[in-house]
Amino acid sequence: MKNLSIRSKVLLTITIAFFLFGIAAATISYKVYLNNSIEQHKNLALGVARLVASCINPDRVEDYLWQGTNAKGYLETKIKLYKIRESSTNVKFVYAYKILEDGCHVVFDLDTPEVAGKEPGTLQEFDKSFKPYVSQLLAGKEIPPIITDDTYGWLLTVYVPVRDSKGVCQCYAAVDVSMEELREQSEEYLIQLAMIFAFILAVIVLIDYQLLKSTLISPINQMAHSAELFAFNSEESMEKNLERIEKLNIHTGDEIENLYHSFVKMTEDSVEYTKDVKNKTETISKMQNALIITLADLVESRDENTGQHIKKTAAYVKIILDEMKRQGVYADQLSETFAENVHNSAPLHDIGKIAVPDSILNKPGKLTEEEFNIMKGHTTAGGKILSSILEMVPESHYLYEAVNLATYHHERWDGRGYPSGLAGEDIPLSARIMAIADVFDALVSKRSYKEGFPLDKAIKIITEESGTHFDPKLVDVFLSAKDEVFKVAKGFSEESKN
């Protein structure tokens, strides 16, 4: 270093510093990207596994083990599990095991194009990667997600206990999510980073020794200042920062200008890549939401009486919200976000019926007092289910309102509803809106135990219960939109006839 000129020392120092910075930045960026992607895969696997667990009747696990496909409900459950697996291309294997001292006993094992599923009751030895958790599995406890890389590829496995009404684990619902796509994306990401930094390093090596002159310091300082101000907190700020960098418009006619253009190109690539990551994150979020809505559809499909209940009530809720906005009713609460969240949450209001036995849910006659009490429990059950999902995917903001809808849509304005006996405006606004939509659809819809009321009679009943069952302000809103309500009701009626 003693015999090198100052310009050579600067060039060497910059080259070494940039190389080390590139390695550090690439390493940190790669680890953050990989960890975030793995976490997203864990959330996806856990969400699917919980959905699988919810479809398995814990009281029939023993029948499934010993009777297999002859057991009541076995084939129907297996069909549901196939649908769940097909909802995501990343879900590779779906199965359920009963864990005993001698190993894993197959309850369900879905076929795949590569591997045929094993028959119910088949004994599987404990995989070596699960041996540290055997004692926990035997005790019916939850275990952390496990990542393996074997003949089936790079897989993330999640086990969720299927518990009976006493809290006893009868078996485990298991999901294997393929992370091969993540491996490919990670390799591609590393290659892109290497190419970008190699290109910039090559440009730096070619910069003339005149970097110490005035034409060097000023451009570098300008670019450094722009880089310090650069923020990735929103697309708008990224575009503004990129525009500011492009407006520097550095023209030195040498390597500094090349560096500037490379800097702009790298910034553009970084912005595009950040947008791409955001889009993929939104896709995963939509996939999670789709899985939750699928659960709502599965719950409705169990109820032979409700038809297209969730679609119709969602449509009525949307009409009420639009009319509230037009009239300025509860304007202090009716933000765009609130309205969107309530509309998106509407299909989930009866999700708690998954906890109601089929014998009660589809009983053609009047329910006994004991049966009705069980039926009423679908409100608190729905709230608990959605609260647990919300803990796993807190970014799904509309689920906050879904908890209110599911829990309180059977409360009454006069306080004689259930489950909490709330009254007046103590009842969440979203639940008060859903109460009208829910009751109206129940009145006009045909059930196995009754014919549907004419639309005018249903409107009359809603009007008569204003101030007792329903919020009087919302009843007035509903009546104002009567024509639109009738139009939707008739549309669904015609659709059901076809």
DSSP one-letter code for 52 = H
Check whether residue 50 and residue 172 sit in a common domain.
yes
Alpha helices in 105-253 (DSSP H): 134-138, 180-205, 214-229, 235-246
Check whether residue 363 and residue 486 sit in a common domain.
yes
Residue 330 has which token pair? 């509860």
Residue 376 has which token pair? 């009423």
Q: CA–CA separation, 463 vs 461, rounded Å? A: 5
Check whether residue 427 and residue 321 sit in a common domain.
yes
Check whether residue 45 and residue 162 sit in a common domain.
yes
Count of C-beta atoms within a 10 Å radius of residue 248:
15
Amino acid at 353: K
Residue 152 has pLDDT above 60, yes or no: yes
Asked if residue 158 is part of any domain, the answer here is yes
Mean pLDDT, the chain, rounded, equals 81
pLDDT value at residue 449: 63
Residue 305 has pLDDT above 50, yes or no: no
Residue 406's φ and ψ, nearest 5 degrees, are: -65, -40
Per-residue model confidence as pLDDT tens digits over 182-200: 677 777 777 777 777 777 7
* Closest by CA position to 46, among listed 176, 133, 148: 176
Asked if residue 28 is part of any domain, the answer here is no
**Which CA distances in Å does 204 have to 58, 220, 266, 301, 359?**
66, 12, 14, 64, 75
pLDDT value at residue 17: 73
Residue 257 has pLDDT above 90, yes or no: no
Per-residue model confidence as pLDDT tens digits over 443-457: 988 766 667 889 999
Per-residue model confidence as pLDDT tens digits over 94-130: 999 999 999 999 999 999 888 898 999 999 888 888 8
Q: What distance lies between CA 184 and its chain's CA centroid?
A: 23
The arithmetic mean of pLDDT across residues 198-211, rounded, is 63
DSSP one-letter code for 112 = -
**In the chain, how many domains are there?**
3
Check whether residue 213 and residue 229 sit in a common domain.
yes
Asked if residue 241 is part of any domain, the answer here is yes
Check whether residue 175 and residue 246 sit in a common domain.
no
User: Which carries the bigger pLDDT value, residue 252 or residue 128?
Assistant: 128
User: Which carries the bigger pLDDT value, residue 161 or residue 301?
Assistant: 161
Expressed as residue numbers, the domain containing 114 is: 33-182
**Which CA distances in Å does 250 have to 11, 246, 254, 460?**
20, 9, 10, 74
Residue 209 has pLDDT above 60, yes or no: no
Check whether residue 331 and residue 392 sit in a common domain.
yes
8 Å CB contact between 269 and 276? no
User: Which carries the bigger pLDDT value, residue 92 or residue 207?
Assistant: 92
Per-residue model confidence as pLDDT tens digits over 316-332: 999 999 999 999 999 99
